[in-house]
Amino acid sequence: MRSTSIAKGRVGALAAVAVGVALVASGCSSTSSGSASSAAAAATSAAAAATSAAAAATSAAAAASSAAPASDANLDIAFVPKNLGNPYFDASDKDGAAAVAEFGGTYQEVAPSQASPTGQVPFLNTLTQQGVGGIAISAVDPKAACDALNQARDAGIKVVTYDSDTEASCRDLFINQATAEGIAKAQVDIMSKAIGDKGEVAICSGAPNAPTQNQWIDLMKQDFAANHPDIKVVDVVYGEDVDQTAFDKVAGLIQKFPNLKGIIAPDTVCIAAAGKYLSTSDAKGKIVVTGLGLPNQMKPYVKDGTVKEFALWNPGDLGYLASWALKALIEGTITGAEGDKFTAGKLGEYTVGKDGMVLLGPPTVFDASNIDNFNF
Ligand code: RAM
């Protein structure tokens, strides 16, 4: 089992797989094929192993054959991020595609250009019509995509959420980046320390309905109230996963709260917008910015002193894990039940936890001392 503590300087590997992107009317899609021949070779040797195991012991043969890829498995995998154009999802889905290539499947990415509750639905319906084998979705809303996802599942498609969960009844597994408590605490701890444990703090998130971000926000508010009574959360605003909207929301907060001491953005779009806004503002160095950000986007603001510390997991590893989880579901080596185990390529073995949750690992805290070690 993986620890939920905060690991400083945990370096994740990024696979270098170029994914071609073709723009279509209201969104984009990209497709790549993995190495079918290497998968076939692996299947052949696994089958040979299963045969010899069968000669030795029936139970060993059963175990070996359940680990071998089913020859007719539909490893046509689609990633549906909240929207296109967010570097966070570029990173997660690139490594999702790398995993699919490793196990010899076919990959595509489809999503609307704007993150809205119902925007993902038509893309899901199209994937169901296409008869893909598995869908990995980062949900903009806990319920809005549920009917479409359950229609896909009724048609035999395996569904995992990654990054942002739906209600548990709409998916087979949730590939969770880190515990919600760990993610919330990392941000509260950084902020509390940075502002001397007192003053006004505001939150800038992504989409207003985003289930996972809203859970982190609730937990942060509870932690501030229980453990930091002199810190007041004065407002929560939403940048809607759009750079300019997030920038305007940050500007609005700074105007509205002249005594503001800090902004927490549990959202890579808004923390980058806050860094950008403050780096050229009089409030630079006076208002603390932290939250969840991508090292590559935040490097300029860490180097110019606007931002001292922020956190994130490796989004590439999250996408990579989602693809391997789909493979295990599609091949029937797991059903998504608690205690099910599967191997996720270079990341090793994972176990399905309660409520169909698979935990990637602890978040990492970034600052000037380690940010150059990361490239995502
Ligand atoms: C944004 C997205 C994503 C979230 C990160 C932290 O990129 O909203 O869903 O997990 O921020």
pLDDT in tens, 305-319: 999 999 999 999 999
Question: pLDDT, tens digit, for every residue of 46-60?
Answer: 333 333 333 333 333
The verdict on 97 and 30 lying in the same domain is no
Dig out the tokens for 134 from the structure. Answer: 């598995």
Report the separation in Å between the CA atom of 284 and the middle of ligand 1, taken as the mean of its atom positions.
24
Instruction: Reply yes or no on whether the pLDDT at 12 is more than 60.
Output: no
36 closest CA partner among 137, 107, 96, 109: 107
Last residue of a domain, which of 34, 54, 71?
A: 71
Specify the number of domains making up the chain: 3
Q: Identify the pLDDT of residue 107.
A: 98
Average pLDDT for 83-99 = 98
Taking the C-alpha atoms of residue 225 and residue 152, their distance in angstroms, rounded to an integer, is 42
174 and 117, same domain (yes or no): yes
Residue of 187, 267, 294, 297 with the most ligand 1 atoms within 8 Å of its CB, for mutation: 267
Residue 24: predicted pLDDT: 33
Residues spanned by the domain of 297: 180-312
160 and 86 part of one domain: yes
What type of residue is 352?
V
Q: Which two tokens stand for residue 229?
A: 């009574």
Q: Confidence class of residue 90 from pLDDT cuts 50, 70 and 90?
A: very high
In the reported structure, the alpha carbon of residue 60 is separated from the centroid of ligand 1 by a whole-number distance in angstroms of 43
- At 222, the amino acid letter reads Q
- For 289-293, what is the mean pLDDT? 98
* pLDDT, tens only, 139-182: 999 999 999 999 999 999 999 999 999 999 999 999 999 999 99
Q: Report the nearest-CA residue for atom 7 of ligand 1.
A: 268
Taking the model in full, what pTM does it have?
A: 0.84
Q: Is 42 inside a domain boundary?
A: yes
Residues with CB under 6 A from ligand 1: 82, 86, 88, 138, 163-164, 206, 241, 267-269, 292
Does 135 lie in the same domain as 63?
no
CA of 326 to the centre of ligand 1 (A): 21
pLDDT category of residue 71 using cuts at 50, 70 and 90: low
Same domain, 320 and 201: no
Q: Dihedral through CA 224, CA 228, CA 230, CA 235, nearest 10?
A: -10
376 lies in some domain: no
Q: Which one, of 187, 156, 174, lies nearest residue 6 by Cα?
A: 187
Ligand 1 geometric centre to CA of 109 (Å): 17
- Statement to judge: residues 19 and 135 lie in one domain: no
pLDDT number for residue 70: 53
Q: pLDDT grade, residue 113 (50/70/90)?
A: very high
146 φ, ψ (degrees, to nearest 5): -60, -45
**CATH code for the domain in which residue 331 is found:** 3.40.50.2300
**Ligand 1 atom closest to the CA of 88, numbered from 1:** 7
Q: Do both 191 and 214 map to the same domain? A: yes
* pLDDT at residue 210 in the model: 97
